[in-house]
Amino acid sequence: MSDLALSTVVPAALPAHLSGMTGTNRTPAGTSRQIAANDDVAAIGLWLAEYRGSPHTFRSYRKEAERLLLWATQIRGKAVSSLTREDVLAYEAFLAHPLPTWCDEGLARRGDHRRLFAGALSERSQRQALGILSGLFNYLVRAGYLAGTPFALQPRRRRARQGRRTIERYLDRALWEDVLVHVERWPQASGRDRQRYERARWTLRLLYETALRASEGAHARESDLLHRRGCWWLRVTGKGGVEGEVPISDALMADFARYRAFHGMPVVPASDSSRPLILGIAGREAPLTATAVYLVVKDALRRVADVLTPTDPMRAARLRRASTHWLRHSAATHQAEAGNPVHHIQHNLRHSSIATTSIYLHAEEDARHASTTQARTVITSSKERP
């Protein structure tokens, strides 16, 4: 199995009774199979390999697979291919109350020897985890590796009907402008300081103005920039392999030229160049990973939050929670507030459904709040008149 499948938090070799080679839920001998894997780690690794084209999905699915595999073998004492419906119910309870040792803050948040939980999962995160694992088991059943899936017995849970959902993980325009202003005040005395400043400055602007995901920003190349009829576009291959083109403003192209000039590179992009739009450490042409792009943004937002904390702790706390995906949400929200047609925003974010894009339309909600609270003020003030 490739090293890209499961990290070293999973033992390299499991004892025979935990490996799944003799799992009680394995298909009987002679059954037609679509995969050659003959143990649980190899079978799970093959399932993960199906998602290597989508780095964000791959990391998310690997995390859930590792958690289940370690819980099954270390706590339940069973192979994954021996799990029953009772085991799945026990795992659901575990997600809500993981062991303290699995949430040890002394361990790194990322990397091979990391902590597996930050704490108890919310109900939404629990549903997501179980949905991913259900997909894993369905895959292994279709592949002929497992005889059945204990997730198939899970009753359908009726979800309460909800009104139109709106996204809340975004920075309002004033806070976003504060971020840009405070980044401009970073120290630039040393070469290292200047490199850090220029990279953060460019990364923030690129992700915000294009509404790219972190993985899309990490994979964006110079050759993805297109110039047609006097306008710049960025060709993007995003989540699920969905392709699209995002408009690029002249202001962002000027920021790109500035960033490139700082590193001594031509300011005009070459159509045949594979140089990344976000350069590596010290301007190296080796691209950053999606995680590294994420950390550049988190570090910049944290530094601004540190400045705001003494005078504006609430806005500082919001910045500490923010991440690369907040910039995507912020871009869409600000476009909607500026009156950009919703179908244009849909294409900019590469949403398959306009209903997904509608979560960024806050104007109607704000108007309802203003009219309601103003009406209340009028009624209250009229009662106070003599």
**Contacts of 77 by beta carbon, 8 Å cutoff, 6+ apart:** 18
DSSP for 244-281, written as a single string: EEEEE-HHHHHHHHHHHHHTT--SSPPTT---BSS--G
Give the per-residue pLDDT at 289. Answer: 87
Positions in the chain whose pLDDT score sits under 70: 1-12, 105-115, 154-167, 240, 351-386
Angle at 343 between CA 342 and CA 345, to 5 degrees: 65
> Which residues fall within 8 angstroms of residue 320, CB to CB, at 6 or more apart?
301, 302, 305
Q: How far apart are CA 372 and CA 273, in angstroms?
A: 55
Distance between CA atoms of 28 and 26, rounded to whole angstroms?
A: 6
pLDDT at 271: 86
**pLDDT score at 160:** 44
CB 212 within 8 A of CB 220: yes
Helix (H) or strand (E) holding 237: strand 231-237
pLDDT score at 5: 54
Distance, CA of 166 to CA of 149 (rounded, Å): 35
Short-list 115, 112, 86, 94, CA closest to 25: 86
pLDDT of residue 337: 80
Neighbour-count burial of 378, counting CB atoms closer than 10 A to its CB (0-12 exposed, 13-18 middle, 19+ buried): exposed
| Structural domains present in the chain | 16-153 (1.10.150.130), 173-364 (1.10.443.10)
Structure tokens given for 12: 């390299």
Among the listed residues 224, 207, 180, the one whose alpha carbon sits nearest the alpha carbon of residue 294: 207
CA 158 to chain centre: 27
